[in-house]
Chains A and B, each alone.
Chain A
């Protein structure tokens, strides 16, 4: 006689271990408050369109035409769609026999993968093979597939930056692997500290962990730092010496807000280095339509590119991809369009370039506004957001605040963020969701609220923060 139903106790332990704070406690509380009628500003996830950023016009025109090809037969279609959007829709429909409604090749439409390869070649100056580019339903699915292929058991370790985007920690938990942290240096603008990284690897190995791969997020999430070319060389040398696969999350490559360190891909640096290292270091590079200035999160369009991966391994990765049959075709077309956007001379170019520039310039301004705003607050120190979409200020909580939090059964930064939410409606993610040094607290917010709303948001934050600090300041120490 079997048990009744399915109990929590009977679930896969790895599932129970998974945490994903981006849509965890704070978000759920914010959603509750929203249902009760409170105005909430959701800054918990990098979701530009949810905060008013408009989609770029050209891709939406093209995909709408692909969605409803009967429009192309209508003599009036030219009244509301520009000729180049019409031509481009025909271009994608020709690549996709059966249109948007058929499963494509499990790796994605070959013609789109060719556009991705051509983009990579233009960006880096090195040829790229479409056969080694796999389109996925968002970059996250690709990350999960790769980590699942690598992790055999709990003695397989993956080097992950701290702080990190918690997809990595969640996936490692889910697949039963070991997270080997390497701490970014907050005092050095969240810079890479290879000494610390080497120590982490050594410590892991002495505990019987086989370190298999290293994750870099460049530009960083939540930290925003952009790796220099020297950094990337260091990392690639390190991976070569230590026999690690490099997983390069480059989804924010279009989001760079300073000029000292423009984006350089890990692949470009690898090939620049030449010699045996360029042929032997194994690299997986990830990209998406969700970020940049496109912000098309809801389309779930992404890809990964494999470099120096053995052919039999590629076959196994293909096999796993084939079980899912194919990534969604509209998302693939968005990727093709992002890789092969309107060019100067195209009818839609001016509008496309204007829309894109406007978004990027505004993001750059907002990165500054937010950094400055946080730095003007009591007990808050904030590194500049060099890239990506987030601000990750350090909140120096007084001891009394930490004690109050803990007696309420909460981590101090969770406590702070809940109070912030209740007072201001600003929904952030506590730093503990990303990892941080013991006893050092942060929160992650996005730089995505509309520019005109920023001053009010920052002043609302400052008002809450400064009065919180006043409330919990331990005056007996003064």
Chain B
């Protein structure tokens, strides 16, 4: 009997989409990891080093205690009736938990909430946005989601009617965007970031890509910006941001601003400015530009990937469109409550004068110092890459990654073709098999055709970095000799 769900009968959009961050290389790494367990010594390395994914707490980063105290008390509110908790929890985590529970109807953290998320928590987030930007935010504009990703899918679903609807996406990009566009049957319209100018964005290039797409009959609906960038790490200059906003307004594009790395900036000469702030600073209001801003609990100094907390703030959409967004959100009923609470905590952390402030600040500073050291780690990784022949690496101003460029010799490119792999995937596979280091090939993110890259996180523990660098060096030099012209 022919299978109705044999792969040839599946939705072609599913077959088409790709997501390299947990793709082939990673699956192979997991197999090798199992092999290390069952046959120790059978490989030229002792451990797999996952540098493929921005998952800080899996590599030793600690959660912020205050946040976890509040969440634990909300998970088990009965604790608030017990005197003993005074010796186990900080006093302001207890009062914050009580305050949050009072915002939840019936204090029932196990109930489905409003489909946009608990109103009181959205008020908190709106206040946090207002305080960050200096421009007011509205709780009704906020949709809490299971991580930021579902909010991206929702907008792609809304915007893409058919294969002639295009979305402008930076190249290189975080492949959620390419995957989501493929899944929803749209056209990805690339705009190339300029590697020679630190992954800078030229609005004239974006305009050219837009016009080119239009001349091919593509109706370009939206522009995605990732700021700070992933995989590239660049923080946009404010002037660039103004250019982007004006461009979207003039061209009638929805601006989708992925700002999940807003609290991961490692250089003193750049600051995060939200696109909402930029839009409002230009005097644009609700009538002028549809904007969706994404934030997540997974990154920053909180790094709570496993919680699936995030939100999108939607502004500049008409009421009928907002109703549709609400309607689609309501089919899933609501996002997980614990993640909602956490999203409100990161937008309203302890402040100077609060009892937990000192310990919270010490932890936050400690994590940021660690990330900054990893930024130096980034520096030492960056330096190491730059010292090797055939690799150059731009500075990562923010986010959690390095994205070095490889100059692969022609012989390597041919060997890759024989192996039926993209050249950078071939390189990454060889790297994995020699060293146990897992990176994601640049072809998973998009790149200027004929250039090759890989993405490596800056998250490995500091003490492992020298070993990573030396193993990498040995591998790379051998690879370049083997495939020498």
Contact = CB atoms under 8 A, between A and B. Distances in A.
Contacts of B113: 298
A64 interface: yes
A312 to B, nearest CB: 4
B250 interface: yes
Contact-residue size bin, chain B (C-beta under 8 Å from the other chain): 35 or more
B7 interface: yes
Contacts of A144: 332
Contacts of A49: 106, 108-111
A16 B161 CA distance: 11
A330 B75 contact: yes
Contacts of A290: 112
B39 interface: no
Interface stretch (A52-60, A254-262, A392-400, A410-418): A52-60
A299 interface: yes
B12 interface: yes
A23 B4 contact: no
A300 interface: yes
A6 B338 CA distance: 33
From A10, A45, A295, name the one whose CB has the most chain B CB atoms within 10 angstroms.
Answer: A10
Contacts of A47: 111-112
Given A322-B23, A323-B149, A99 B4 contact: no
B12 A152 contact: yes
Interface stretch (B61-69, B400-408, B419-427): B61-69
Contact of B339 (A282, A324, A326, A328): A328
Given A47-B112, A295-B110, A6 B290 contact: yes
B196 interface: no
Contacts of A97: 58
A23 B11 CA distance: 29
Contact of B7 (A10, A76, A313): A313
Given A3-B252, A141-B332, A323-B179, A50 B72 contact: no
B337 A299 contact: yes
Interface in B36-90: 53, 55-60, 63, 65, 68-69, 71-73, 75-76, 78-79, 82, 84-85, 87-88
Contacts of A167: 331
Interface stretch (B258-266, B268-276, B312-320, B471-479): B312-320
A12 B158 contact: yes
Contacts of B106: 49-50, 52
Contact of B158 (A15, A100, A296, A325): A15
Interface stretch (A65-73, A179-187, A196-204, A228-236): A65-73
B362 interface: no
Interface in A1-55: 1-8, 10-16, 18-20, 22-24, 45, 47-50, 52, 55
Nearest to A46: B112
B76 to A, nearest CB: 4
Given A76-B87, A316-B10, A330-B307, A137 B338 contact: no
A79 interface: yes
B251 interface: yes
Interface string A55-97: 1010011011101111100101101100000000000000011
B389 to A, nearest CB: 34
Nearest to B179: A323
B466 interface: no
A3 B54 CA distance: 38
B305 interface: yes
Chain A, interface size category, equals 35 or more
Contacts of A138: 332-333
A12 B161 contact: yes
A63 B78 CA distance: 13
Nearest to A67: B72
Given A325-B149, A328-B146, A316 B7 contact: yes
A150 interface: yes
B331 A106 contact: no
Nearest to A211: B4
Given A80-B85, A149-B10, A101 B1 contact: no
B5 interface: yes
Q: Which of B3, B11, B330 has the most CB of A within 10 A?
A: B11
A140 interface: yes
A2 B289 CA distance: 12
Interface in B236-254: 250-254
B84 A298 contact: no
B21 A322 contact: yes
B393 to A, nearest CB: 26
A84 to B, nearest CB: 15
A55 B110 contact: yes
14 contacts: A7-B318, A15-B324, A23-B115, A49-B111, A50-B106, A64-B79, A68-B71, A71-B88, A98-B306, A240-B1, A298-B111, A298-B112, A299-B337, A328-B336
Q: Which 8 A-B pairs have the closest CB atoms?
A: A2-B252, A98-B58, A329-B306, A298-B337, A102-B58, A68-B72, A64-B76, A322-B22
Given A71-B72, A316-B10, A323-B19, 20 more contacts: A5-B316, A8-B318, A12-B157, A15-B328, A50-B108, A60-B75, A100-B63, A100-B306, A100-B307, A101-B63, A101-B307, A106-B22, A138-B333, A144-B332, A149-B14, A297-B333, A299-B110, A316-B7, A320-B17, A330-B307
